[in-house]
Amino acid sequence: MTTGVNRNQEVLRKTEHPGTDHNSKAWVLRCCICGWCYGANSTDAWERKCPNCQGGRPGLPIPLEREGEKWNREELVIAFNLYSQIPFGTIHMRNPKVIELAAVLGRSPGSVSYKLANFARLDPALQARGIHGSPHGAKGDEEVWHEFAQRPDALVYESARLLAARRGCSVENVAEVDESDLPPPGEERDAIVRLRVNQGFFRKRVLSAYEFRCCVTGLDATELLVASHIVPWAEDTANRLNPKNGLCLNALHDRAFDRHLMWIDPGYTVRFAARLHESAQRSETSLAWLLSFEGSRLKLPKRFVPDADLLGQHSRRCLVQAR
Ligand SMILES: [Zn+2]
């Protein structure tokens, strides 16, 4: 019987740990279908089947060489990136993303989850709600936290680069950057990739803060959600990656917000431009749904509540344009 190459898996990490076959090493694989992580012998890794969804043999234990060792800066930078992109309530050790990161780092899911809880302890947004995370944070955690706050664009890219280096793949791959329209390798491509890595980070950070729900309508179809900038990306460099300069909106309300046809009043009330209401009255169009949220209150996120000053800047411009 010939066994084929299983293309539905990827190598997460090649370890120096001996496998169970003669002269083999233990490799860590990830199933591309269900996300399961499992160990395999390097000698037959490519024809392994996922033990979770393809009926493969139970995988080898994933080597945990780093478990119990002090976290270094690289690991912390990579972990903070994940912390920023998943909702607070999901930083537990059963989260597939936590399990995957643990497999990449050579640590247990429990210790990755514990590290994410340390970051939560430093999160002002969570402190304000009386959530204090783990009380035993290390100094390194604080340093990485502040670095991310001070120069987020550099750190976000660095974390993608570090993760890519560990996984032996490209930054584009790690950050899920759309490569279809990228120019050939060179400075221009690098600049675009850097921009997209940062934009992708902003999107995931905002959407996860809102737990993947539109803050006007409550709609939760991720494909239709946008991480909308309150003050546009091009206009305010300092707030480009600030999650408090973001709103999670469905595509239609995002467009209305972007075109200054919708704004948020103090008290987080949703408002629409008079000319939208007028055109709704002139014709019986489906604008009714869009406008039915007039006067409703924004569904605020548990962390990164939108900045009142930035919302004020946006509203003032809407009112000027309405004249
Ligand atoms: Zn699977």
Distance 230 CA to ligand 1 centre (A): 40
Is the pLDDT assigned to residue 41 strictly greater than 70?
yes
Does residue 252 have a pLDDT over 70? yes
Helix (H) or strand (E) holding 264: strand 262-265
pLDDT single digits (tens) 149-158: 888 889 999 9
Distance 54 CA to ligand 1 centre (A): 6
Q: Considering Cα of 318, then 222, then 190, then 98, what sign does the dihedral take?
A: positive
How far away, in angstroms, is 287 Cα from ligand 1 center? 44
Does residue 88 have a pLDDT over 90? no
If pLDDT is split at 50, 70 and 90, which confidence band does 128 have?
confident
pLDDT band at 1, cuts 50/70/90? very low
How many CB atoms lie under 10 A from the CB of residue 321? 12
CA-wise closest residue to 297 among 257, 265, 249: 265
Query: How many angstroms does the Cα of residue 173 sit away from the middle of ligand 1?
Result: 19
Residue 178: is its pLDDT beyond 90?
no
CA of 49 to the centre of ligand 1 (A): 8
* 5 alpha carbon – ligand 1 mean position (Å): 15
pLDDT higher than threshold 70 for residue 137: no
State the Cα–Cα distance between residues 161 and 158, nearest whole angstrom: 5
For residue 38, the model assigns a pLDDT of 96
* 33 CA from centroid of ligand 1 (Å): 5
185 vs 127 pLDDT, higher one? 185
Write down the pLDDT at residue 15. 94
**Residue 250, number of CB atoms within 10 A of its CB:** 22
CA of 38 to the centre of ligand 1 (A): 10
Euclidean distance between the first and the last CA atom of the chain, given in angstroms as a whole number: 76
The size of the chain, in residues, is 323
Distance 197 CA to ligand 1 centre (A): 27
Distance 14 CA to ligand 1 centre (A): 19
Please report, rounded to a whole number, the percentage of residues in the chain having pLDDT higher than 90: 76
Give the dihedral of Cα atoms 98, 104, 110, 111; nearest 10 deg: -120
Report whether 103 contacts 14 (CB < 8 A): no
Angle between the N-to-C axes of helices 152-167 and 96-105, in degrees from 0 to 180, rounded to the nearest 10 = 70
* Model pLDDT for residues 202-233, shown as the tens digit of each residue: 999 999 999 999 999 999 999 999 999 999 98
At 272, which helix (H) or strand (E)?
Answer: strand 269-272
The mean pLDDT value of the chain amounts to 92
Helix segments in the chain, DSSP class H: 73-85, 96-105, 109-122, 124-127, 139-150, 152-167, 171-174, 187-209, 251-258, 274-282, 287-291, 308-322
Does residue 265 surpass a pLDDT of 50? yes
Q: Report CA(166)–ligand 1 centroid distance (Å).
A: 22
Please tell me the distance between residue 36's alpha carbon and the centre of ligand 1 in angstroms: 5
Q: 45 pLDDT exceeds 70? A: yes
